[in-house]
Amino acid sequence: MLGLKLMRNKNSSAAKIFSYFICFAPVIFFIVIFYFWIASAGTFSFDKSPGHYGELAEGFAQGHLNLSIDPDPRLLQLPDPYDPSQNIRIRYAGVHDVSLFRDKFYLYFGPGAALMAYLPYHFFTGQYPDQRWAAVMFASASFCILSLLFILMARPETKSQIVYVNLLMLLAGFGNLVPYFLARSDMYEVAISSGTFTTSLFLLSLFLASKYKKNSPVDDGFRAPKPEKIYNSSSRKKSRQAKMNANQDDLDVSLSENGETRTLFFLSFASLMAGMGVACRPNLIVLVFPLFICSWVLCDEKKRLKWAGIILAPLAFCGLMLAMYNYERFGSFTDFGSNYQLAGFDQRHEHWFNYDTVYGWKRQITALYMYFLNPPDYSIHFPFIIPSPHCPAWMFPGGTFVMEPIVGVLFGMPIVVLSFFSFLRKNSPRLILKSGFLKSLRNSPERLTLFVASVSFTAIFGLLLMIALIGTTSRYFVDFSGVLIFVSIALWYRNRPKNVIFGLVLLYTLIFGFMTGVQGYYNRFGTTNPDLIRRIERMFTF
């Protein structure tokens, strides 16, 4: 195995990097190809349909903040253009869920996806990308980044460890709900996938920041270790070996001196990614809290105030620009335009933070059940696993609460539940606190990254439950499913439960990811390419 031989070459960091590429690139490449296959409905070709993000980018290019399309005059002449019963025909002509304010169209999402993908693509090609292409590019990049982070944390060296890491990445690629998510790839998926991209870069930046922390006892996987001091009988060889040792000592001193600078750089980049995350998905503002935790742990006590200004500057800049962006559009620093949506119900009369009634609290209870415990429909006929809402009648909150097809974590991501209980079986919370886990975060990049990822997931999902939006849907899962599956496979790799259990979980996850991917929202994959679906169905018909 060429990759394994290169990995054992301890005198070359370049060889170790290349060995990681040989060992893990095939699985990552396979997952990315699968994502493109799902997003293109099996054709690997995309239409030139940039969607509303393309219209937003075109508006930016023309020097204004609204979309490049103008509202239909019939819409503006309605007595109440926000009334769903009045605007239904015009709304479904191509402006559903677009915000209308002062006779102009806006997106209630942030401009992050347009700034990171559409405008650069337009700069180099003169055109705007298809929205399905943009969504799958963001989702694929996010998976690659989290895979790289997992590899750096696992640092596999033996053949069995390499195989195990590859299988876990394969499980994560099929079990993160992205295949089902990409089968549609509308403007919603572009916004969400761009947010997962920034979250992935955020976590990788925190890991690298902790890696370069001075006096960290964890060896950097990409840095060549100090060669052993072996004295040969030849005086020339002794001199050469001594020179190599001296050069390596100088390199270690240099890295130690530059460690704080690199830590500061990666923390600042994480701050930028947190700000861009809010520009993609406003609910990602919760990434600010893990950023504060990581910065507090990694910064020296005497330099915290000095570092705070440098680290928070990118986040503050993004927040200021986003506030000005909202103010120029809607006259409010915090209004993203959701109250002016042309949706299936009047958003002006829907109060998201209505907790003073039983109906308000029922939303959170229902959302918690749907996201964690809702089972799919199982069938002996293709496609075997069908996402579907199953909410008990006594739990349904009523009103405008919408439940789209969804599968709970217990049935869609069983690795999450099993890895959690496996971790608790070997590490009780009381034992973790007694062992000084929190104090060890400063000197352990792996623990720090895992801790921050857990905090990020908890915060994102907590905010999602708090708002409860207006219903539950699988696409909201993708906001945190990548982080959740990453934490799960990291815990699983650390605890290593029995291989039989892992084999069953892997098999179920592969089947689940493929079968839900060839469906998509309301069978979008099948309606786009019915001939391919019929051929796949014949393959699974016994």
Strands 471-472 and 402-403: what pairing? parallel
Query: Whole-prediction pTM value?
Result: 0.86
**b/e map 408-445, b = 16+ CB within 10 Å:** bbebbbbbbebbeebbeeeeeeeeeeeeeeeeebbebb
Phi and psi angles of residue 445, each rounded to the nearest 5 degrees, phi first: -60, -35
Q: What Cα–Cα distance (Å) separates residue 81 from each residue in 70, 90, 103, 108, 381?
A: 14, 10, 10, 17, 45
What is residue 5's predicted lDDT score, i.e. its pLDDT?
53
Q: Which residues does residue 377 pair with via DSSP β-bridges, in sequence order? A: 386
For residue 125, the tally of other CB atoms under 10 A from its CB is 9
For residue 532, the tally of other CB atoms under 10 A from its CB is 16
CA distance 201 to 146: 8
Is the bond preceding residue 392 a cis peptide, omega within 30 degrees? no
CA distance 6 to 8: 5
For residue 115, the tally of other CB atoms under 10 A from its CB is 18
Residue 248 neighbours by CB under 8 Å, 6+ apart? 224, 226, 227
Residue 278 neighbours by CB under 8 Å, 6+ apart? 110, 112, 284, 285, 287, 318, 319, 322
What is residue 494's predicted lDDT score, i.e. its pLDDT?
78
What is residue 497's predicted lDDT score, i.e. its pLDDT?
67
CA distance 226 to 224: 7
Q: Provide block-wise average pLDDT over 10 residues at a time, the chain (542 residues).
A: 52 65 91 95 87 93 92 91 89 89 91 94 92 94 93 84 92 93 89 94 88 52 38 48 47 51 90 94 87 82 82 94 94 89 77 49 80 91 90 76 86 89 69 55 65 69 61 83 87 78 92 92 85 90 74
Cα 362 → chain centroid: 28
- Domain range summary for the chain, segments of one domain joined by +: 2-539
Q: Work out the percent of the chain whose per-residue pLDDT is above 70.
A: 77
For residue 9, the tally of other CB atoms under 10 A from its CB is 14
**To the nearest whole number, what is the mean pLDDT of the chain?**
81
Provide the residue type at 32 as one letter. V
Give the tens place of pLDDT for each residue, 61-96: 999 999 999 999 999 999 999 988 888 888 888 888
H or E element that contains 105: strand 104-106
